[in-house]
Homo-oligomer: A and B are copies of this chain.
Amino acid sequence: MQLLKDRIRKDGIVKPGNILKVDSFLNHQMDIPFINELGKEFKRRFSDCPITKILTIEASGIGIAALTAQYFHTPMIFAKKAQSLNLDGDMYTAKVESFTHKKVYDVILSKKFLTARDHVLIIDDFLANGCALEGLIAIVRAAGASLAGAGVVIEKGFQGGGDRIRRMGVRLESLAIIDSMTEDSLTFRE
């Protein structure tokens, strides 16, 4: 998606450790009209799918998924990263290893909100090693729901998670795929 690639080139900052900071528009400060355009693009790419739920994971996926869900006219549900006193015992769980935070955590989703009748589109901001996405896919499968696919804003292609997800047979639509990056240059996959 050219609008996104242009924005990453303009405002993205590459940091040591293969970190791409896009916090001025995507996941700390959010440029709302810009993200609405990403939501419309996800809708265009998955317009053939009878989506009933948008699924994401806290925290930085939530805003993007909420805005995107407007174009699918569906509820949005977000998996939570730790046991909360406000959650019932009846939950789907998966373990996820975070690239950013270098730790393993549990991801939970109340069983009330995802059933075998659902057609799910997973939305997230970043795909690096793919562990968060795999955790969400495991939850969709545990629910017996249909997985229409996953929509990711930025895939770090050189970390291999996206290609592994595709080999699982999951339809993955990344709006920008970065094949290499240094402090001076970014290469997008064509």
A residues apposed to B, CB below 8 Å: 15, 17, 19, 21, 23-24, 28-33, 35-36, 58-60, 62-67, 69-70, 73-78, 80-81, 84-87, 100-102, 109-110, 112-113
Indicate if the CB atoms of A80 and B59 lie closer than 8 Å: yes
Copy count, this protein chain: 2
Instruction: Give the CA-CA distance A59 to B35 in the complex, in Å.
Output: 18
Contacts of A28 in B (CB 8 A): 77-78, 80, 87, 109-110, 113
Contacts of A23 in B (CB 8 A): 86-87, 110
Contacts of A109 in B (CB 8 A): 28
Indicate if the CB atoms of B32 and A76 lie closer than 8 Å: yes
List of 9 A-B pairs having minimum Cβ-Cβ separation, nearest first: A63-B66, A58-B59, A59-B59, A62-B62, A29-B113, A29-B77, A30-B76, A32-B69, A62-B63
Additional A-B contact list (5), CB under 8 Å, known A19-B85, A66-B66: A28-B78, A28-B110, A28-B113, A30-B69, A36-B70
Instruction: Give the CA-CA distance A35 to B62 in the complex, in Å.
Output: 14
Contacts of A67 in B (CB 8 A): 66-67, 70
- The listed residue with most B CB atoms (<10 A of its CB), out of A64, A76, A112, is A76
Indicate if the CB atoms of A84 and B100 lie closer than 8 Å: yes
Instruction: Give the CA-CA distance A109 to B110 in the complex, in Å.
Output: 30
Contacts of A59 in B (CB 8 A): 58-59, 62, 78, 80-81
Indicate if the CB atoms of B77 and A100 lie closer than 8 Å: no
Indicate if the CB atoms of B112 and A86 lie closer than 8 Å: no
